[in-house]
Amino acid sequence: MELVYTPAQQAFRAEARAWLEANVPPAPLGSFDTAEGAAEHRAWEKRLHAGGWAMVPWPVEYGGRGADLLEWLIFEEEYYRAGAPKRINQNGIFLLGPTIMEFGTPEQKARFLPRIASSEDVWAQGWSEPNAGSDMAAIQASARRDGDHYVLRGQKTWASRGAFADWLFGMFRTDPASERHKGLSFLLVPLDTPGVTVRPIAQLDGETGFAEVFFDDARVPVANRLAGEGEGWKVAMATAGFERGLMLRSPARFQSTARRLVELCRANPATASEALREEVVRCWMDAEAYTLETYRTVSRLLAGGKIGFEASLNKIFWSELDVRMHETALRLLGHRADLLPEAPAAAGVGDWLDGYLFSLSGPIYAGTNEIQRNLIAERILGLPRSG
C-alpha cells in the first residue's frame, strides 16, 4: 500500500474538519454513565446523524455516508483531533451494526440499522454472565422456542451501557442439551420487554456504566434472532472480531492520548526524567505503529480480506498501550496525579486519573488478554492446548 492521501481523501478530511470545528460542543458533555449525561450524548449523536457523520462507512440507505474504511480512519483522526464527545452508542454503531451487515436479513437491516445510526436505539452489550465472564462458551441464559417467540430466562451481568440503553444483544442457549459453544443463538432484546429487569451497577465513582439484566419468562420474537438457531457462536465471534480488531478502538484514540502525553511531558520538566522521556517517546511510537498496522489491515479488507484471529493481537496491543500511556502520565504528574480535576490545586492535571482508571479495564473487556493469548497460541502459532 502507498501511504499517500489522494485529493479526494484530502477533500474528505477538510470537509470533516470544517463540520467538526463548527459543531463540536465548546464544553465537555456530562458522563454518559449518568442520566443527564446520557441525554446530552444522545442529542450529540443525533446532531452527528443530521450532519451525515454518524457512521461514515455505512451505506446511505442505512443512515451512513457510503464512505470506505480509509475515509473512516481519516474521519476518526479528525474526530479525536477536534476533541469531540465519546460515542454513547459505540456498542450499536461499532459492534452490532457491522454484525447485522454481515448476518442480518434484508428486513433486519432495514429495521435496525437506520435506528442505530441515528441513535434512536442505544444498545447494551450482553455477553457476560455470573459464571461465564470472558468464557462465553459457558453461557447458561436460556431461550426456549414457543411458536414465533423465544422465552428467555437467566441473567446477564456487566452489560455495558445497560443502565441507559434501549436494547441488548447477546447469546442465549436455545438447545438445553448442548454444551460449550454449541446450541447458542444470537438474539436482539428490547429492554422494555415485560419480564426483563435492568439493575444498574454502581462503579467506584458511583456512576452506572454497567447493569445486571434479569430475564424472567421474557418473550422475544424469533424475528429478533441473527443467523440460524444454534449459530450464535459464529455470529458472536464476528462481533468480538469487530470489537477487538478494528472498529471499537480506532488508532486515532491512541494517537490523541499520545499527543496529550507529549504535551504533558513538555509541561512538567521537573518530573520528566530521562527514563520517563524515553517512555513517552516509546508510547508515541507505539501509537503510530498501531495506526500504520490498522491502515494495512483496512487495505487488506478493502481488497476482500477478512479479520481473523489477528484481532487478538490488536486487542492486547492497544489495551496494554492505553494502560502504559496513562501510567506514564501519572508518573509525570508526580504527587498531583491523585487529584480530581475539580480539586483546587488540580490545574494542568486534566482527566488523566479518570483515563487511567478506565484503561485498567482494557485488558479485561472484549475478552481478557489471557484469553486472547490462548487464542494466539492455539489458532495463530498452532501450539497445543494446555492440559
Catalytic residue positions, numbered? 243
**Cα 133 to the chain's mean position, in Å?**
17
Whether 145 contacts 176, CB under 8 Å: no
Q: Which three cell numbers stand for residue 1?
A: 500500500
Task: Give burial (CB, 10 Å; 0-12/13-18/19+) of 298.
Answer: buried
**Count of CB atoms situated within 10 Å of the CB of 352:** 25
Biggest CA pair distance of the chain: 70
Nearest CA to 173 out of 192, 189, 154 is that of 154
**Strand 210-221 versus strand 196-201 pairing type:** antiparallel
What phi and psi values does residue 347 have, to the nearest 5 degrees? -55, 125
**If you ran DSSP here, which 8-state letter would residue 129 be given?**
B
Q: H helices then E strands: how many in the chain?
A: 12, 8
Angle at 41 between CA 98 and CA 298, to 5 degrees: 30
Nearest to 97 by CA among 226, 270, 281: 226
The Cα 169–Cα 238 span in angstroms is: 13
